[in-house]
Amino acid sequence: MKKLLSTSAFLLFTLYFAFSQVDLGLPFVTGMGGAANGVVKDWECIGINPANLGWKNNFKFSLSTMIVGINAQSGALDYKQLQNAILHPGDTFSNDEKKLYASIFSNAEGLNLNANLTYLALSFKVPKVGGFAMNLSDRTYGHIKLNKNAAEIMFLGMDAPIFKDTMAFLQNISKIFDDSEVGFTHYRELNVAYGAKLFGIGGTPDSSDVSFYGGVGFKYLWGMGNYEMVADNNVLTGHSAFSSKYGIQYGKIKNFTPETTSGLFSSVGNGTALDLGLGVGIGKVKITVSALDMGKITWDKNVLIASDTLLPDTSQFNFAGINSWNLAEQASQMFNDSGIIEFKPGPSYETKLLSKFRIGAGWQISRRMAIGSDLVLPMSSNPANLQNAYFAIGTEIELATNLKFAFGFAGNSTYKFCVPFGITLGRFFKICELRLATSDILTYIAPGENPTISLSFSLFRFNFDGKKKQ
């Protein structure tokens, strides 16, 4: 029987250490805690609200490359443990550490990882037509929550207490792992967006007292990797599909020969999605709403489907638990005949994107200060999606021509209370600016429970032709 153990940890810890579901890894948005819907403009509004491309104060042309945002948050690990997992993944666990991790990962709040990499983003506006934007990005989202049994098996393997209970071998994995869930999605997206002023009321054609905006974004998606395992109410569901570029060693799975994927976008699935946005501007205040990532990916290559089985006894189960956070080197132990969750080849399957609904407000208090607030709600039940409503309020203040600061307050029942912070240096040569931000500066100043380690930065941003002020 071909089995698979703790694929969740392998995927999450070895691929990307990265909250960016709300801020998409954009430094300006990260620095305000995700309070962006009524404030963000130019290409930065892609994936947040395409209607903002119709705003009058957008640049005529804006371009940026290599924008990186990573985030790791855990209600289980403390700051030092989370930091060590990121910076020293190869350190071997002692027996005491394995017992400690088995204990703390029984915490129901688990671990959330996100990463965003934007290779290229640009926007431009055409008078009396509207604004256009495009970006090419990689999105990676992960969420893991383990019950006591799953956590102990992951770290202790055959030494997990459950294997000393002979009655446990009469129970299915779905019951043993009940209330555990793992979600991981990695895809590449090409997003083309358009936004415009729909109509105005009062004032003049160029400066209405009340302006209404609308926008749409179309995304083509290349699915690079997906894994989902949910054990709920004694029912186990799960599936996986990964590009060969992940280098996963599956071992000998009956009737399964992984297909070597090739090409610039080496994918094992494809899909499409839509972003829709609306907004109204009244003087210096904007109120906006958007529905994002409404779409799906069909995974049709290297597909494996989970099967519910009885818990194997130690004569069938040969796994000593993970020995470090560098699980890539331990993949052969997880993809062998002595695992615990049985996977077999299956048909293609579909996964919904991590769709969200955003309500925002922005106020351009003065030329040097803007304030915004956002409420973000999950629209799909994907385990990697936001688990609860998220709220943020933030501001950006221009202290000098070449210096801006952003900060705010944000959080939900998962991420708890965070204080985001960002800094902008620019504009060098009048067209280039550098940004750096974190979604929770408190983690670095006074580490405590529920740490969030995050960083987002953009090295280059070029803005051409000065924007008009509203």
Position 216 scores a pLDDT of 98
Q: What is the DSSP string of 205-272?
A: TTB-SEEEEEEEEEEEEEEEEEEEEEEETTEEEEEEEE-GGG-------TT-------STT--SEEEE
Do 196 and 133 contact (CB within 8 A), yes or no? no
Q: Match 């992960």 to its residue by tokens.
A: 142
Position 338 scores a pLDDT of 52
Reported as a pLDDT band with limits 50, 70 and 90, residue 470 is: very low
For the stretch 134-183, pLDDT in tens is: 999 998 887 778 888 988 888 888 888 998 888 888 899 899 999 888 87
- Does 54 have pLDDT greater than 80? yes
The domains of the chain are located at: 3-355+400-464
In whole angstroms, how far apart are CA 309 and each of 7, 236, 357, 392, 433? Answer: 17, 9, 38, 44, 56
Reported as a pLDDT band with limits 50, 70 and 90, residue 191 is: very high
pTM, two decimals, is 0.84
- Does 335 have pLDDT greater than 50? no
Here the tokens at position 366 are 């003065």
- Does 7 have pLDDT greater than 70? no
For the stretch 258-301, pLDDT in tens is: 888 877 788 999 999 999 999 999 988 999 999 999 999 999 99
- What is the pLDDT averaged over residues 204-229? 90
For the stretch 311-322, pLDDT in tens is: 887 776 677 788
What is the percent of the chain with per-residue pLDDT over 90, rounded to a whole number? Answer: 30
- What is the pLDDT averaged over residues 234-249? 85
What rounded mean pLDDT belongs to the chain? 82
Here the tokens at position 375 are 């409420």
Q: What is the DSSP string of 334-403?
A: HSSTT-SEEEEE---EEEE---EEEEEEEEEEETTEEEEEEEEEE-S--TTS-SS-EEEEEEEEEEETTE
For the stretch 100-134, pLDDT in tens is: 888 877 765 667 777 888 999 999 999 889 999 99
